[in-house]
Structure 1
């Protein structure tokens, strides 16, 4: 003879209120120790990039080679049509004219977007740097406008990465998230 596997509803469920709909049942509420309810933590956000684009190196050392281990590259971006001059330690990361690379400027290397502490720890955590080949940490020291070309006004952003300099020039809307004296990371990966 066949027997049901579940006990009847009246054995395990109780009504919580007078029932308008006979199908509204709930389990009895167990007794929990009283404690204040805390709001859930805010959702973790991903790293926000201040700037990201793909660049093509147009020239190396336009004013002649000044240092043995460093080259100044000139590059033009594809998406935002930005012009960049950047000093690169070519002994560590060689670059040639015609090379294409992704360049990101970010305020932190933490993937969850938490601010950088200022100390490097090799704790085995994944960071934004794991996705790139060449990383520098520096400070944005100058933001200016250039309207000398007679065309639309361009913004110039200057940063120093331990003496290696970067100048990024282009449309002011691309520079809206930059602030003077802002600490940032420059990350490069060849495409």
Structure 2
């Protein structure tokens, strides 16, 4: 069956010279901005914070709960100090352990916001790259100028009652907002 070849609707054609052959046309000039042939690159998950930490102490104020330990850790790149409650029955940690910690607003690899519902759709998420994941809410951001040195910022978050305090340079807190929902992801290095 014969089908005529039609030009794309978004293109117009002009003659290159006086017409001897009516089929002699120049390259199409788009009437509208053309769409790329390939889809736009996927947006990657934007991390609010990422660094490698080393555990310096466990339970500095004594062990309060059987299954939870409070760790103190110091980061390598941004020199941040962190206190974090970890369910050590599920994810054991010891002094001297090194781990990567990421704070992200979503687990979707394309950066789309979470719906708030968990689905077992079998799709890949950011959580697949980590060993320990918690979901929580940032409830307090404050400045600490008591050390006499440069002003530090303190970021507080709660993950279902497990608390985190991250303290360091104020430029590290630029992307955080009060009452922001976030994911904390940990992987040992």
Q: TM-score, normalised by structure 2?
A: 0.82
Quote how far apart the aligned CAs of 1:44 are: 2.9
Compared with structure 1, are the counterparts of its residues 34 and 124 closer, same or farther at alpha carbon in structure 2 (3 Å cutoff)?
closer
Compared with structure 1, are the counterparts of its residues 25 and 179 closer, same or farther at alpha carbon in structure 2 (3 Å cutoff)?
same
1:56 is paired with a residue whose SS is strand
Matched residues in 2 for 1:83 and 1:17: separation?
Answer: 73
Matches within 5 A, 1:1-191: 18=18, 25=25, 43-191=41-189
Quote how far apart the aligned CAs of 1:20 are: 13
Matched residues in 2 for 1:50 and 1:3: separation?
Answer: 55
Large movers: runs of 4+ above 4 Å: 1-38
Quick check: which has more Rg, 1 or 2? 1
Cα deviation, 1:58-110, whole Å, max 9, x if unaligned, reads: 00000000000000000000000000000000000000000000000000000
Quote how far apart the aligned CAs of 1:21 are: 15
Q: TM-score, normalised by structure 1?
A: 0.81
Matched residues in 2 for 1:85 and 1:180: separation?
Answer: 19
* Aligned Cα root-mean-square deviation (Å): 7.0
Runs of at least 5 residues in structure 1 that lack an aligned partner in the other structure: none
Quote how far apart the aligned CAs of 1:3 are: 27
